Amino acid sequence: MKEREIPYKIYLEENEMPTKWYNVRADMKNKPAPLLNPATLEPMTAKELGVVFCDELVAQELNETDAYIDIPTEIRDFYKMYRPSPLVRAYCLEKKLDTPAKIYYKFEGNNTSGSHKLNSAIAQAYYAKQQGLKGVTTETGAGQWGTALSMACSYFDLDCKVYMVKVSYEQKPFRREVMRTYGASVTPSPSMTTEVGKKILSDHPGTGGSLGCAISEAVEVATKTEGYRYVLGSVLNQVLLHQSVIGLEAKAALDKYGIEPDVIIGCAGGGSNLGGLISPFMGEKLRGEKDYQFIAVEPASCPSFTRGKYAYDFCDTGMVCPLAKMYTLGSGFIPSPNHAGGLRYHGMSSTLSQLYDDGLMEARSVEQTSVFEAAEQFARVEGILPAPESSHAIRVTLDEALKCKETGEEKTIVFGLTGTGYFDMVAYEKFHNGEMVDYVPTDADLAQGFAGLPKVQ
Amino acid sequence: MKEREIPYKIYLEENEMPTKWYNVRADMKNKPAPLLNPATLEPMTAKELGVVFCDELVAQELNETDAYIDIPTEIRDFYKMYRPSPLVRAYCLEKKLDTPAKIYYKFEGNNTSGSHKLNSAIAQAYYAKQQGLKGVTTETGAGQWGTALSMACSYFDLDCKVYMVKVSYEQKPFRREVMRTYGASVTPSPSMTTEVGKKILSDHPGTGGSLGCAISEAVEVATKTEGYRYVLGSVLNQVLLHQSVIGLEAKAALDKYGIEPDVIIGCAGGGSNLGGLISPFMGEKLRGEKDYQFIAVEPASCPSFTRGKYAYDFCDTGMVCPLAKMYTLGSGFIPSPNHAGGLRYHGMSSTLSQLYDDGLMEARSVEQTSVFEAAEQFARVEGILPAPESSHAIRVTLDEALKCKETGEEKTIVFGLTGTGYFDMVAYEKFHNGEMVDYVPTDADLAQGFAGLPKVQ
């Protein structure tokens, strides 16, 4: 196929959209390590997990054998409202960089949550509805996940209780109002509505809260309220499964035009976007059918892959959740408050951690000023104002494309553009005003986080 | 064609996108009245207009004979980055309303400017570049137009000077930062950089500025600076011409599936979105080929069509621009500060005014709390969080669809969803908190505005 026949944006037809999610664990020789019960250190059973999560989602969490899982019609209908997302050929960026590389990005920002989070939120809300639940609880920091879940619950007429880190609730009122538009109740955390919230408020009056505390409150409410369960927007196997829709669509769009990627790049916080994007390609690699270079990009200020340990750890700072084996900086690790670029989670999806440990993918860390430089450069030629998180992938894409310019290689690069930065303009403002600083934790900083790892092997 | 074969979203292929704009004036028997020189009261000549606007745009402004005008390749390439915009079948909304009506919307919000404004911004920047100019100036209120123009200028490497109403500059820093991301210089207006700004600051120290003042500053800088021209985002004939891409795409998408609309609805401030959306359909009506019902929707607090006068008026409160014949409330009319829903312009596109005066389209006014109710209802089932402006069209669409429910009529309704409301969450917050009030000007309020009309007939 001739080069210029590839349009700026490849959209699949509705009937070309995936009807099944792909479960990469089915093709992994070394399966991700199981979640452990923190009390017994035994693998969590379906029954134990069912106290916190919906039954069908527990089944998906534990399913290591089925490579494909049907996407229910109701979820596919919802997907049709904002998917397929476009696979965009970055013609203007290529021209600006004067690179022989061919650059594509899968853009997940064209929905009100502003990111890929909605792909899993709608699935989790659906299964909650199917189980006859009244509602779900969750935590949110800046609010992308909370927004996505609010939209999904509104669609299925489910109650949605969001615990939002208090400092974000007060300083970022816009996302809070988006959630309220979709009918969610948004409670600043810590709050007086839970035992754990009351305890934290009594121990630390005036605290601005943390994600760990918000998780603990959301889990407490879910487990103590009849007809409620807790849902989580990243890290878990079930979330990566739902997010495989990103990679499946991307692959179908590439196949449609006979395009073979060489490098696939994604940003990585908890791993849901990266895991979803690379899944079907990784499947081909695992089955020995094709080879690809996969690059996970993380902030230098929160370097779980590049400087973390592969060990069992708590998923939350409140230590109420099961233990997961993952690349981690320790659940007590908190990136510098100067860090504005997102991807602040201390650990990484167990599935991706195993793939990384097996040498099947690479990881790089980048500093935030260079990330915002890349974001601005991208915005000016491609139009889209990217989220800081997504811009980590842009940074490494620019680096790779410029390498191709030096070597003359015509590599095909695909990266995940997970979302838009409309609610991140305070960070952009810092960057424009020259007030943004980089931060790299010292070995001593990291040692403190590692010291909090549980003694499990 | 069977009902269910129509997908949720109709996307045109790249090669189905319009290659020409449609100029509805060519098919109008009664042409819109010409712009007048405020000093001589004679029609503005191309030479006079060329002091303020780019030459090619002046030619388009005055062109009443060519029905189709080629879209230059460079503009079409830019369009390919964010267009075609989807024509969406509102299946979920129809189901929720339980109406036999079939509802479609043309969604223009999937770009960083968050609205349809980019369609004309890129055209105006292109012609400025072609003329060898260094840059352009403009004004912006809340910032949608300024954002769109910044993006366009960044793409063509043109300087962009935006005068932003000072109160918005200070209270709405997000859009300001988006503009800065695209390299625009953003000056709070009134400023000390212009004669008119200095005078206003000396007469009214501490003023928060107004759109009229920002226009005057932008025009002054354009006319006094070598290599600069002024550009405007609505009202003008040239803008409606560029925005015809909305209607042309919508019509192509409908034709592709053999869909015949009965009613076409759009919100109307200065008229650029409505004019663009209805143009090709209005052309069919003007040529006697088809009939459609067109409904312009405006806020009850700024009712140019429904309660205005059809008369020559100043386009700006500073009275520096040519006189235009339009439905107007008088250039001194300012909607109540309680009005949060946009569409605050005192007048209306001359082209649309003539069509309305000729009885070819209808107009309705709606109150803002009912607009936000419609917005929220729409968001909860269709996912997209609409801009307050766009939600005026949603309000009347809901009303029409509910009428169909009563009568059993299976009308096909198409409305323009011009943009997203991500930067309007303060207004949504007011609505959620029950702090939003409606406002309808009294006849005495309107009489004050009419008293300022120039004595021209």
Measured in whole angstroms, how far is the alpha carbon of residue B348 from the centre of its chain? 10
Q: Does A52 touch chain B (CB under 8 A)?
A: no
Q: Are A381 and A103 in contact (CB under 8 A)?
A: no
Place of tokens 């109008």: B28
pLDDT single digits (tens) A363-415:
999 999 999 999 999 999 999 999 999 999 999 999 999 999 999 999 999 99
* CA pair distance B394, B386, nearest whole angstrom: 9
Question: Considering only residues 158 to 197 of chain B, which have any Cβ-Cβ distance to chain A shorter than 8 Å?
Answer: 173-175, 177-178, 180-183
What is the distance in angstroms between the CA of the first residue and the CA of the last residue of chain A? 52
* CA pair distance A121, A341, nearest whole angstrom: 23
Neighbouring-strand partners of residue A265: A295, A415
pLDDT single digits (tens) A119-163:
999 999 999 999 999 999 999 988 899 999 999 999 999 999 999
pLDDT single digits (tens) A193-202:
999 899 989 9
Average confidence (pLDDT) over B100-118? 97
Q: Are residues B112 and A379, on separate chains, in Cβ contact within 8 Å?
A: yes
- Give the H/E segment covering residue A186: strand A185-189
In terms of CA atoms, which chain B residue is nearest residue A158? B380
Measured in whole angstroms, how far is the alpha carbon of residue B53 from the centre of its chain? 19
Chain B: closest CA distance from residue A428 (Å): 7
Q: Are residues B173 and A420, on separate chains, in Cβ contact within 8 Å?
A: no
A457 band by pLDDT with thresholds 50, 70 and 90? low
* CA pair distance B143, B387, nearest whole angstrom: 13
Which distant-in-sequence residues (6+ apart) come within 8 Å of A62 by Cβ?
A: A46, A49
* CA pair distance B325, A225, nearest whole angstrom: 64
Residues of B in contact with A423 (CB under 8 A): 422
In terms of CA atoms, which chain B residue is nearest residue A76? B8
User: How far, in Å, are A380, A422, B85, B263 from residue B401 at the CA level?
Assistant: 41, 33, 23, 11
Q: Are residues B174 and A422, on separate chains, in Cβ contact within 8 Å?
A: yes
Chain B: closest CA distance from residue A32 (Å): 35
Which distant-in-sequence residues (6+ apart) come within 8 Å of A48 by Cβ?
A: A37
Query: Whole-model pTM?
Result: 0.95
Q: Are B344 and B278 in contact (CB under 8 A)?
A: no
* CA pair distance A222, A224, nearest whole angstrom: 6
Report the residue from A81, A112, A376 with minimal CB separation from B385.
A112
pLDDT single digits (tens) B115-158:
999 999 999 999 999 999 999 999 998 889 999 999 999 999 99
- Other Cβ atoms less than 10 A from the Cβ of B168: the count is 22
DSSP code of residue A433 = T
**pLDDT score for A156:** 96
Chain A: closest CA distance from residue B228 (Å): 21
Q: Which of A5, A422, A424, A430 to mutate to test the interface with B (most CBs of B within 10 A)?
A: A422
In terms of CA atoms, which chain A residue is nearest residue B156? A381
Report the range of poorest mean pLDDT among A238-247, B86-95, B162-171, B383-392: B162-171
Which distant-in-sequence residues (6+ apart) come within 8 Å of A118 by Cβ?
A: A82, A111, A148, A151, A152
pLDDT single digits (tens) B4-28:
589 999 999 999 999 999 999 999 9
- Other Cβ atoms less than 10 A from the Cβ of A288: the count is 7
Report the range of poorest mean pLDDT among A106-115, A166-175, A403-412, B274-283: A166-175
Q: Does A80 touch chain B (CB under 8 A)?
A: yes
Q: Which of A112, A153, A376 to mutate to test the interface with B (most CBs of B within 10 A)?
A: A112
pLDDT single digits (tens) A4-54:
589 999 999 999 999 999 999 999 999 999 999 988 999 999 999 999 999
The C-alpha torsion from A116 through A122 and A127 to A128, rounded to 10°, is 110
**pLDDT score for B339:** 81
pLDDT single digits (tens) A256-282:
999 999 999 999 999 999 999 999 999
Q: Are residues B384 and A151, on separate chains, in Cβ contact within 8 Å?
A: no
Chain B: closest CA distance from residue A119 (Å): 13
Q: Are residues B9 and A8, on separate chains, in Cβ contact within 8 Å?
A: no
**Residue A1 pLDDT > 50, yes or no?**
no
What is the overall mean pLDDT for chain B? 94
Q: What burial class does residue B150 get, using C-beta atoms within 10 Å of its C-beta: 0-12 exposed, 13-18 middle, 19+ buried?
A: buried
Residues of B in contact with A149 (CB under 8 A): none
Q: Does A79 touch chain B (CB under 8 A)?
A: no
Backbone angles phi, psi at A263, to 5 degrees: -130, 135
Average confidence (pLDDT) over B221-235? 95
Residues of B in contact with A173 (CB under 8 A): 425, 429
**pLDDT score for B457:** 64
| Highest mean predicted confidence (pLDDT) among B40-44, B316-320, B344-348 | B40-44
Average confidence (pLDDT) over B376-400? 97
Report the range of poorest mean pLDDT among A20-34, A233-247, B161-175: B161-175
Encoded tokens for B84? 């075609």
Percent of chain B at pLDDT exceeding 90: 85
Q: Does B379 touch chain A (CB under 8 A)?
A: yes
Percent of chain A at pLDDT exceeding 70: 98
**pLDDT score for A104:** 98
B36 band by pLDDT with thresholds 50, 70 and 90? very high
- Other Cβ atoms less than 10 A from the Cβ of B13: the count is 11
Q: Are residues A81 and B13, on separate chains, in Cβ contact within 8 Å?
A: no
Neighbouring-strand partners of residue A22: A68
**Residue B287 pLDDT > 70, yes or no?**
yes
Q: Are residues B383 and A155, on separate chains, in Cβ contact within 8 Å?
A: yes
- Which amino acid is it at A10? I
**pLDDT score for B195:** 92
Residues of A in contact with B107 (CB under 8 A): none
Q: Are A318 and A213 in contact (CB under 8 A)?
A: yes
Q: Does A379 touch chain B (CB under 8 A)?
A: yes
- Which amino acid is it at A318? G
Q: Are residues A92 and B155, on separate chains, in Cβ contact within 8 Å?
A: yes
pLDDT single digits (tens) A279-312:
999 999 999 999 999 999 999 999 999 999 999 9
Place of tokens 């979920």: B92
Q: Does A5 touch chain B (CB under 8 A)?
A: no
pLDDT single digits (tens) A332-364:
888 887 787 888 889 999 999 999 999 999 999
Backbone angles phi, psi at B259, to 5 degrees: -95, 130
* CA pair distance B12, A450, nearest whole angstrom: 54
Backbone angles phi, psi at B88, to 5 degrees: -105, 135
Q: Are residues B182 and A8, on separate chains, in Cβ contact within 8 Å?
A: no
Report the range of poorest mean pLDDT among B140-149, B254-263, B265-274: B140-149
Q: Which of B117, B150, B422 to mutate to test the interface with A (most CBs of A within 10 A)?
A: B422
What is the overall mean pLDDT for chain A? 94
Q: Are strands A159-165 and B20-22 parallel, antiparallel or unpaired?
A: unpaired
Percent of chain A at pLDDT exceeding 90: 85
Extract the runs of DSSP E, i.e. beta strands, from A58-184.
68-70, 87-89, 102-107, 135-140, 159-165
Average confidence (pLDDT) over B395-423? 97
Q: Are B255 and B323 in contact (CB under 8 A)?
A: no
Q: Are residues A81 and B376, on separate chains, in Cβ contact within 8 Å?
A: no
Q: Does A95 touch chain B (CB under 8 A)?
A: no
Extract the runs of DSSP E, i.e. beta strands, from B185-275.
185-189, 228-230, 263-267
**Residue B1 pLDDT > 50, yes or no?**
no
Backbone angles phi, psi at A436, to 5 degrees: -85, 130
Average confidence (pLDDT) over A419-443? 94
B295 band by pLDDT with thresholds 50, 70 and 90? very high
Place of tokens 């034709």: B255
Q: Does B383 touch chain A (CB under 8 A)?
A: yes
**Residue A2 pLDDT > 80, yes or no?**
no
- How many contacts (CB atoms, under 8 Å) link A and B? 122
Q: Are A218 and A52 in contact (CB under 8 A)?
A: no
Q: What burial class does residue B262 get, using C-beta atoms within 10 Å of its C-beta: 0-12 exposed, 13-18 middle, 19+ buried?
A: middle
Q: Are B60 and B241 in contact (CB under 8 A)?
A: yes
Q: Are B295 and B263 in contact (CB under 8 A)?
A: yes
Q: Are residues B7 and A112, on separate chains, in Cβ contact within 8 Å?
A: no
Q: Are strands B68-70 and B362-366 parallel, antiparallel or unpaired?
A: unpaired
